[in-house]
């Protein structure tokens, strides 16, 4: 069933979408790089523990590192090759962290080794275990371990399973292509999700700029599944879990709470497809769909890229402009700037957006806050970013947290996007949140 809804969340912004460059381009397999650089922490939680040794030959799909406890996921070999080095690898933020350098066998057929299948008839616990064993994390960008998210806490129940196909970040079209090309995987994934959440109904939320995907999925809903496809108006940041729940269910997730508090669980559509694709074969994540786009890219498109492929290899292959200036991992609203091209594609990389010098439109001139209120009208959770920004400058972090709900901010960037004074509000809030968290844990340890 396909439904149109004019419901949405409060406020929000409309950045130029730039999705037409890639949304008609089918996903293509990317070549295997000669060297895979695989960080052990690509997810929220503890890094995976390496279980192979240097010089060991590994097959594509083989587990290279195991989960370190519950809040962690294992890592699988993206290619067949030989473990060259177990050492620190570059990660985002200019630091180094534990990882594996894996040299690809040049003439290997790159067959995938499969593990023990997790059938749909398995118990919910076994399915959750299977999801963890497959190394699945939120592919929308957050990279939170999916099995943790799906675990319904004691005493709570899930009524609505929400499949997030919003993809509100400008430029990105990976979820769009996955919905058009992997409908069967998505519905298989939904079957697994229904088993573990015991939800009564499933809503696939899609923005109106992907109507083709909504039609495509609505036409293919299996008769025995309680699935609705709901099309909502285009608005950033509708893909944020809380905003989507409000748009689809008309309920607000309590401050500091989780979707399950309103009896909902939300899962990204590509993550859902990955569950449906991997679990029946007992496989782990070795690759993901990435949109490579932006004005600085010649061969824009959606590519199935092995995890751990270095950015330099990716950009050389797609022909990036020589004068590239900024490279974002993720979209331009919430993505992170790459500090250099030795970083690799990780599980949370939904897109690579490249801007040349001439595309970086942001002016470096920062004016004082003129209290125009544009940020107040943009903030999806009705904070007062203007006031918070002024408080941040005077380092009044406790006031920000206690009186102005700083900790509810999820850094969507809408306030900075509209700010006529170019004030880096989100950056201020990120720093302030870090300090408040540190102070709190310091108090807790006294």
Residue 278 or 352 having the CB closest to other proteins = 352
Residues between 14 and 33 with contacts to other proteins, criterion CB under 8 A? 15
Residue 63 or 418 having the CB closest to other proteins = 418
Q: Is 369 annotated as a binding residue?
A: yes
Q: Is 10 in the site for other proteins (CB under 8 A)?
A: yes
Site map (CB under 8 A) of other proteins, residues 295-334, x = contact: -----------------x--xx---x-xxxxxxx---xxx
Residues between 338 and 367 with contacts to other proteins, criterion CB under 8 A? 338-341, 353, 355, 360-363, 365, 367
Residues between 105 and 134 with contacts to other proteins, criterion CB under 8 A? none
Residues between 241 and 300 with contacts to other proteins, criterion CB under 8 A? 242, 246, 252-257
Q: Is 158 annotated as a binding residue?
A: no
Residue 192 or 236 having the CB closest to other proteins = 236
Of 99, 141, 170, 306, the residue at the interface with other proteins (CB under 8 A) is 170
Of 382, 393, 402, 437, the residue at the interface with other proteins (CB under 8 A) is 382
Task: Give me the least distance between CB of 17 and other proteins, in Å please.
Answer: 12
Task: Give me the least distance between CB of 405 and other proteins, in Å please.
Answer: 5
Task: Give me the least distance between CB of 382 and other proteins, in Å please.
Answer: 4
Residue 250 or 373 having the CB closest to other proteins = 373
Q: Which stretch binds other proteins (CB under 8 A): 26-34, 43-51, 274-282, 335-343?
A: 335-343
Residues between 207 and 246 with contacts to other proteins, criterion CB under 8 A? 242, 246
Per residue, the 3-state secondary structure of the chain, as one string, reads CEEECCCCCCCCECCCCCCCCCCCCCCEECCCCCEEEEECCCCCCCCCEECCCCCCEECCCCEEEECCCCCCCCEECCCCEEEEEEEEEEECCCEEEEEEEEEECCCCCCCCCCCCCCCCCCCHHHHHHHHHHCCCECCCCCCCEHHHHHCCCCCCCCCEEEEEECCCCCCCCHHHHHHHHCHHHHHHHHHHHHHHHCCCEEEEEEEHHHHHHHHHHHHCCCCCCCEEEEEECCCECCCCHHHHHHHHHCCCCCCCCCHHHHCEEEEEHHHHHHHHHHHHHCCCCCEEEEEEECCCECCCEEEEEECCCEHHHHHHHHCECCCEEEEEECCCCCCEECCCCCCECCCCCCEEEEEEHHHCCCCCCCCCCCCCCHHHHHCCCCCCHHHHHHHHHCCCHHHHHHHCCHHHCCCCCHHHHHCCCCCCHHHHHHHHHHHHHHHHHHHHHC
Site map (CB under 8 A) of other proteins, residues 413-442, x = contact: xx-xxxxxxx-x-xx--x------------
Q: Which residues are annotated as part of the binding site for [4Fe-4S] cluster?
A: 369, 372, 375, 379, 409, 412, 415, 419
């Amino acid at each position: 069933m396909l439904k149109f809804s004019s419901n949405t969340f409060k406020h929000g912004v409309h950045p130029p979408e730039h999705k037409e460059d890639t949304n008609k381009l089918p996903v293509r397999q990317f070549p295997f790089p000669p060297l895979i650089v695989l960080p052990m922490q690509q997810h929220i939680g503890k890094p995976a523990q390496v279980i192979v040794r240097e010089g060991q030959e590994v097959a594509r799909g083989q587990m290279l590192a195991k989960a370190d406890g519950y809040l962690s996921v294992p890592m699988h070999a993206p290619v067949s090759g030989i473990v060259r080095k177990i050492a620190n690898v570059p990660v985002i933020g200019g630091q180094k962290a534990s990882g594996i350098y894996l040299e690809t066998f040049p003439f290997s057929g790159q067959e995938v080794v499969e593990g023990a299948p997790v059938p749909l008839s398995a118990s919910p616990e076994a399915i959750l275990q299977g999801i963890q064993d497959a190394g699945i994390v939120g592919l929308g960008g957050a990279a939170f371990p999916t099995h943790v998210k799906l675990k319904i806490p004691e005493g709570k129940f899930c009524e609505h399973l929400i499949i997030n196909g919003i993809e509100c970040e400008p430029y990105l079209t990976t979820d769009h292509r996955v919905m058009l090309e992997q409908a069967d995987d998505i519905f298989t994934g939904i079957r697994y999700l229904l088993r573990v959440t015991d939800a009564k109904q499933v809503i696939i939320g899609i923005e109106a700029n992907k109507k083709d995907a909504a039609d495509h999925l609505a036409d293919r809903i299996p008769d025995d599944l309680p699935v609705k496809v709901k099309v909502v108006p285009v608005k950033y940041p509708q893909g944020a879990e809380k905003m989507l729940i409000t748009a689809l269910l008309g309920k607000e997730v309590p401050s500091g709470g989780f979707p399950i508090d309103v009896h909902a669980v939300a899962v990204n559509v590509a993550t859902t497809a990955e569950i449906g694709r991997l679990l029946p074969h007992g496989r782990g994540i070795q690759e993901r769909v990435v949109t490579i786009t932006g004005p600085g890219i010649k061969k824009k498109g959606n590519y199935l890229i092995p995890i751990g492929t270095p950015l330099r290899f990716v950009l050389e292959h797609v022909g990036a402009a020589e004068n590239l200036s900024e490279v974002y991992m993720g979209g331009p609203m919430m993505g992170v700037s790459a500090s250099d091209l030795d970083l690799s594609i990780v599980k949370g990389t939904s897109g690579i957006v490249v801007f040349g010098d001439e595309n970086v439109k942001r002016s470096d001139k920062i004016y004082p806050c003129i209290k125009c209120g544009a940020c107040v009208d943009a903030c999806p959770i009705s904070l007062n970013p203007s006031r918070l920004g002024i408080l941040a400058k005077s380092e009044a972090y406790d006031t920000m947290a206690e009186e102005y709900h700083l900790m509810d901010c999820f850094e969507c960037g809408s306030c900075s996007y509209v700010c006529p004074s170019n004030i880096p509000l989100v950056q201020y809030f990120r720093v302030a949140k870090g300090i408040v968290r540190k102070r709190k844990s310091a108090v807790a340890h006294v």
